[in-house]
Amino acid sequence: MDVSKYKDEEKKVKKGRRKFNINSMGTKMALAFIFIGIVPLIISGYINYNNAYDALKAELVSTSTQSADLINLSIDNYLNGMGIQTKELSYSRNAVGVYDNPDDEEYLDLLLDQLGNIKDSNPNVLSLYFGAKDKRMIIYPVADLGEGYDPTTRSWYGGAIEKDGGIYWSEPYTDAATGNTVITVSTIVKDGGKIIGTVGLDIDIQDFSNTMSATKLGENGHIFILDNSGMVLAHPNPEMVGTDTIAN
């Protein structure tokens, strides 16, 4: 074995080690320059990331808020439209004709045709009716409400009387004709300045919910609507509609 050759190789290794000695001044200076160069980049990247995140978050919040505002406006317009339609129905001479001529089938047919046309134009309307002061009830679609049914004892009738020409909105309740959960919009009917009854229309909450909850907020967001008491009026999950689960 050539001992001198081995020693030469060992010297080269030690010399190489000295070149990369971490304790040397040159190495320390190099590391300092690297640190000085990299740290600002890291800080700058972190700041830019946070700024981009905050900007994106603000944009998403703004977009969601705008979408919610548009949905609220759409709901307001829809409900206001229902109120206007009910008010227009209260001016119907057919309702007055039915009240003044209880045995005249012609007025009855005209009123039912009018109610039917309104329902056909709005799928969310479950039924429409004229509840007369003399306790007669004209409803479309025609339904058997049972013997002794008295419209003047119903909340939608009394509520409309209290509003005295304004629009009454009922709390959600179970409809006697269909068993569905509904909201009634009603107002009084006058003839010669005297109240002769009320007209009303029922909005099917489930149909209303299906229409409203089909609207999405972003990719995964959805809307739900509560009334003043916390009752769910619209929700993507049909089982939630008509309950107060969310409020509780």
pLDDT for 61: 61
Mean model confidence pLDDT for the chain: 78
Cα dihedral angle (164, 169, 171, 177), rounded to 10 degrees?
Answer: 90
Once rounded to an integer, what is the mean pLDDT over residues 203-210? 76
| Residues 136-189 pLDDT 10s | 999 999 988 888 899 999 999 999 999 999 999 988 877 777 777 788 999 999
pLDDT for 186: 96
pLDDT for 115: 95
pTM: 0.65
pLDDT for 35: 61
| Residues 74-85 pLDDT 10s | 777 878 888 999
pLDDT for 119: 92
| Residues 99-124 pLDDT 10s | 999 889 999 999 999 999 999 988 88
* Integer Cα distance of 231 and 94 in angstroms: 36
pLDDT for 120: 92
Evaluate if residue 39 carries a pLDDT over 80: no
Once rounded to an integer, what is the mean pLDDT over residues 212-237? 70
pLDDT for 195: 96
Most confident of 14-23, 80-89, 213-222, 226-235: 80-89
Two tokens, residue 83? 């109120």
Evaluate if residue 26 carries a pLDDT over 80: no
Q: Which residue has the higher pLDDT, 45 or 195?
A: 195
Pairs from 194-198 (Cβ < 8 Å, separation ≥ 24): 195/133, 195/161, 196/95, 196/96, 196/99, 196/132, 196/133, 197/95, 197/99, 197/130, 197/131, 197/132, 197/133, 197/151, 197/157, 198/90, 198/130, 198/131, 198/151, 198/156, 198/157, 198/160, 198/161
